[in-house]
Structure 1
């Protein structure tokens, strides 16, 4: 490459300013310096960039096409400078998050983070058996977001982000989908698909015992198994709201709990001893401000 970035900057300046003299004033250079830079660039590229037959030079066809290329190169240079500046300010290169809850509930703060720290990579882990404190405690994750636990070790700090509603659901082809009200005795006759982290921890879960149980540590795995008609399961309403609206899934109405919603808190958890950089600090504060909430049948936020 024989031409320089300074020549490309001059080329773009002349094209945008409309004349050599205006570009010279914008760049703080003499007109002769600008003219020389453009002439040398034309020699290096082997094409005429400007038509000088009129009093005000205009771009040639080749100039218009190469201008786009030059502007792309200059934009990438600005991105390189920004990335280098970020690294020079000791901003972390990567953060690791342990997320147990449905990811769609966290897109707003993650979108803001992408704009505030465009060069910090994110590694999102799903905690084994749904326990975010394991990954946070051993330093694998910088912080975690999961369903609330009754107590945390003194090594952790936490704040509640909100609550989600869990519902019992089956596919529309499942035998239970035809029941207007479901007794516990009938429920026990069918396979139960359990989120490993919840196990027997949901409210009144002792009444939901089943003789056949499949477990998974992923909501998506439970969703696909339920969709295939392999059993009934308990999932966050936000995760399957559209499937309910389309009639693809059916919410079970338990005869003993006709008016009871099953609410579970969502907590933001981090290790007290963890030394956080600027990006991690920013994201934790933004997550703490973010509220996880349920949506009604019309997609409007509801207060639990």
Structure 2
């Protein structure tokens, strides 16, 4: 068998894209090149990987089984490349991070980084469209910290740092604040103030829909609009603790979920094949060890 990594990559790309033509566009190759690669791979492996009798190529039973093996081979290749790069002793002069989670939850590891690498500059970026993994995948940042998403591209690695609680809040004198209980219909009748990065990326329920919706590209703008009484919003509890304690903001008592917190995961994401020097590798390890959590309504840490 003389199959190549390029053939395995093409095989996986066709399955992900759903067609030879779509895979060719993704890989920057011609459709004939992709077709030839799959045909040669089938010859090398001695099995048909796709059922071509339908409009779109569908993996055969053998193809579906071999796909898992091919993905493992490709994963190991990325791990090998990353391991080799990690052996470099070079220290970066600058690192770029993308942070979507509340920044106050990350000050301890960042302070430790400052102590260990005082001459390495750190740039903190924010993804306005909420696509932190996209910034990492394109190499615009070395790593990202964001709300967990369901699927990551194969070239990215991730580790869950912990979980935070999101609250639905309004200003104390907002009409919703005067209601002892709030159902979905009542909620939809008032303007929603939305963090743009959440936009359909987080698992949600129908009560998050609203007839009016204003969007903000960062938490501070969203918090100020909420404090101004412009509508109700969903914010990390860690961000509004002082406002809640002062009575400036109040949590909405939703009838459907009177005892349930909305808990979301916080993930650390990095590119497997990205070259990290000593500073980047150190920070990656430190962030992976850092745990983000708080106590839920039942008094349990959200890391459970």
Instruction: Say whether 1:221 aligns with 2:221.
Output: yes
CA distance in 2, matches of 1:227, 1:117: 38
Partner of residue 188, structure 2: 188
Cα offset for 1:155? 1.1
Partner of residue 243, structure 2: 243
Cα offset for 1:201? 4.2
CA distance in 1, matches of 2:288, 2:241: 25
Cα offset for 1:195? 1.4
Partner of residue 150, structure 1: 150
Specify which structure has the bigger relative contact order, considering alpha-carbon pairs within 8 angstroms and separated by 6 or more residues: 2
Partner of residue 259, structure 2: 259
| TM-score, scaled to structure 2 | 0.67
| TM-score, scaled to structure 1 | 0.67
Size of the aligned set, in residue pairs, is: 215
CA distance in 2, matches of 1:214, 1:171: 16
Return 5+ residue gaps in structure 2 as ranges: 1-88
Higher radius of gyration, 1 or 2 = 1
- Asked if 2 retains the 8 angstrom alpha-carbon contact of 1:183 and 1:256, the reply is yes
CA distance in 2, matches of 1:250, 1:229: 11
CA distance in 1, matches of 2:158, 2:201: 20
Partner of residue 197, structure 1: 197
Provide, for residues 255-304 of structure 1, a one-character-per-residue CA deviation record: whole Å limited to 9, x for no partner: 1111110010000000111010000000000000000111579x996655
Provide, for residues 115-166 of structure 1, a one-character-per-residue CA deviation record: whole Å limited to 9, x for no partner: 0000001000011212111211111101000000011000100000000000
Partner of residue 141, structure 2: 141
Secondary structure at the counterpart of residue 133 of structure 2: helix
Secondary structure at the counterpart of residue 286 of structure 1: helix
Q: Over aligned residue pairs, what C-alpha RMSD do you find?
A: 1.9
Cα offset for 1:198? 1.8
Secondary structure at the counterpart of residue 294 of structure 1: coil
Partner of residue 275, structure 1: 275
Listed as ranges, the matches of 1:12-161 within 5 Å are 90-161=90-161
Cα offset for 1:90? 3.3
Cα offset for 1:205? 2.4
